[in-house]
């Protein structure tokens, strides 16, 4: 915004990797009078949500809906299935994996943390090797992030399942799908995940403050003997009350109104189309980054994230200053950087209710900001993204015509 102005003109370009921009339809759905959370109208709403969310996780088992952010659902997953002192295997893919590991330590679990350089997702081979070494089956759970939001690395969940099975290990399999759910394919049942952890504020296009545990029969069985202390996050009370469309406490009613519409919108577009759109926008972003001559933090091409791209700035250029300049001048927000790479990269979020035109606004703003900040780069990244998007759409149109 202009130096002598207190008003940023036009829509803000929210390109952090969640919370994502709210569709007007979701906002409107939430803008409704509060209803009695023990009344019949609420029960209908809750049942719609509890059934609908299963179609997003692709599960026929129950999904717990927490009135809490994703961090709460992490805690729910661990405390409902494990006992104090249990060993869990985690992978240091980045900041969020590190936070989950810290939580595990704080609540009395014993995480073993497989190190990475924060430039790769989790490696099925490394997990398989650790499980084979665990002759006494002391590892009670393998916990990974499908998408590490802090670095933009997507881990192949089905391959990790295969590695667990190949090691013939009984550990539970827990997957954080907070920044991948409803943006790229996720199959809780098919991939043999025991607890999937989701959040509302990314692909589901809702505000922050709601999160999920999708659970397998094995996880439910484990919850009967798990001894970690829990109260708010306990599954048993929740599942009992959910059967009749209620919650053990006052749930976030307005969020549930939003959830119904978020799910409806995803199905109207078609999940496959939602995934294709995210992959197209991600590819366009990566091509722009490459054309600028900048480096993707994620070094593993096979694990590029469909929802967020972390862009390294050349030595001597501060990514936080770059983000501040872009915000002030072009009204765009990017995600920040973490850990050993703090200040060295920024993240472009390309998930949720965004289309090609919105992405091109963001990439054009990025190219302008790079020039304004004096970051050495080649011109033409935005044009490269345009060319890719046009070719992707013409290929789709050709296929449809055949
Ligand atoms: N896990 C992942 C992959 C995330 O991206 C986030 C937040 O962005 C979290 C966990 C924590 O979720 P919340 O901030 O909603 O508590």
Ligand 1 centre distance from Cα of residue 297 (Å):
19
Q: Is the CB of 149 under 6 A from ligand 1?
A: yes
Q: Give the tens place of pLDDT for each residue, 331-368.
A: 999 999 999 999 999 999 999 999 999 999 999 999 99
Segments of 255-306 assigned E as strands = 295-296
* Burial zone of 331 (CB within 10 Å; 0-12 exposed, 13-18 middle, 19+ buried): middle
Q: Quote the tokens at residue 89.
A: 């295997």
Nearest protein Cα to ligand 1, atom 7: 70
Main-chain dihedrals φ then ψ at residue 63, nearest 5 degrees: -120, 125
Q: Give the tens place of pLDDT for each residue, 117-152.
A: 999 999 999 999 999 999 999 999 999 999 999 999
The b-or-e profile of 197-222 (16+ CB within 10 A means b, else e) is bbbbbbbbbbbebbbbbbbbeebbeb
Asked whether the beta carbons of 37 and 249 are under 8 A apart, the reply is no
- Nearest by Cα to 177 from 212, 126, 125, 210: 212
Residue of 95, 96, 182 best suited for mutating to test ligand 1, as the one with most atoms within 8 Å of CB: 96
Q: Is the CB of 69 under 6 A from ligand 1?
A: yes
pLDDT at residue 2 greater than cutoff 70: no
The pLDDT of residue 178: 98
Q: Is the CB of 179 under 6 A from ligand 1?
A: yes
Q: How far apart are CA 98 and CA 90, in angstroms?
A: 9
Q: Is the CB of 338 under 6 A from ligand 1?
A: no
Ligand 1 centre distance from Cα of residue 70 (Å):
5
Q: How far apart are CA 37 and CA 250, in angstroms?
A: 7
Q: Give the tens place of pLDDT for each residue, 69-97.
A: 999 999 999 999 999 999 999 999 999 99
3-state secondary structure at position 298: coil
Ligand 1 centre distance from Cα of residue 151 (Å):
13
- Minimum-distance ligand 1 atom for the alpha carbon of 18: 8
Q: How far apart are CA 154 and CA 177, in angstroms?
A: 10
The b-or-e profile of 57-76 (16+ CB within 10 A means b, else e) is bbbeebbbbbbbbbbbbbbb
């Amino acid at each position: 915004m202009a130096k002598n102005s207190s008003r940023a003109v036009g829509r803000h370009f929210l390109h952090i990797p969640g919370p994502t921009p709210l569709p007007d339809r979701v906002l409107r759905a939430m803008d409704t009078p509060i209803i009695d959370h023990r009344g019949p109208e609420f029960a209908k709403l809750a049942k719609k949500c509890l059934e609908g969310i299963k179609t997003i996780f692709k599960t026929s088992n129950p999904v717990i809906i927490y009135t809490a952010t994703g961090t709460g659902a992490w805690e729910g997953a661990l405390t409902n299935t494990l006992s104090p002192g249990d060993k869990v295997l985690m992978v240091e893919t980045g900041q969020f994996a590190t936070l989950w590991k810290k939580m595990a330590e704080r609540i009395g679990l014993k995480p073993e943390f497989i190190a990475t350089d924060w430039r790769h997702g989790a490696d099925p081979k490394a997990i398989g090797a650790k499980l084979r070494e665990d002759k006494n089956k002391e590892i009670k759970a393998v916990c990974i992030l499908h998408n590490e939001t802090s670095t933009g690395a997507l881990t192949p969940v089905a391959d990790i399942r295969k590695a667990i099975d190949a090691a013939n290990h009984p550990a539970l399999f827990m997957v954080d799908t907070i920044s991948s759910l409803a943006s790229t394919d996720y199959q809780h049942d098919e991939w043999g995940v025991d607890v999937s952890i989701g959040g509302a504020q990314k692909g589901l296009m809702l505000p922050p403050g709601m999160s999920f545990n999708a659970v397998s029969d094995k996880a439910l069985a484990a919850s009967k003997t798990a001894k970690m202390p829990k109260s708010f996050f306990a599954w048993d009370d929740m599942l009992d009350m959910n059967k009749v469309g209620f919650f053990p406490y006052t749930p976030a009613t307005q969020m549930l109104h939003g959830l119904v519409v978020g799910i409806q919108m995803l199905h109207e577009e078609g999940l496959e189309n939602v995934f294709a759109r995210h992959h197209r926008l991600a590819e366009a972003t990566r091509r722009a980054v490459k054309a600028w001559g900048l480096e993707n933090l994620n070094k593993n091409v096979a694990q590029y994230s469909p929802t967020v791209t972390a862009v390294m700035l050349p030595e001597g250029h501060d990514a936080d200053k770059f983000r501040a300049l872009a915000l002030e001048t072009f009204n765009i927000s990017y995600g920040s950087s973490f850990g050993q790479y703090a200040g060295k990269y920024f993240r472009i979020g390309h998930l949720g209710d965004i289309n090609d035109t919105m992405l091109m606004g963001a990439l054009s703003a990025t190219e302008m900001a790079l020039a304004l900040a004096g970051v050495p780069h080649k011109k033409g990244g935005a044009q490269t993204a345009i060319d890719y998007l046009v070719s992707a759409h013409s290929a789709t149109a050709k296929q449809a015509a055949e």
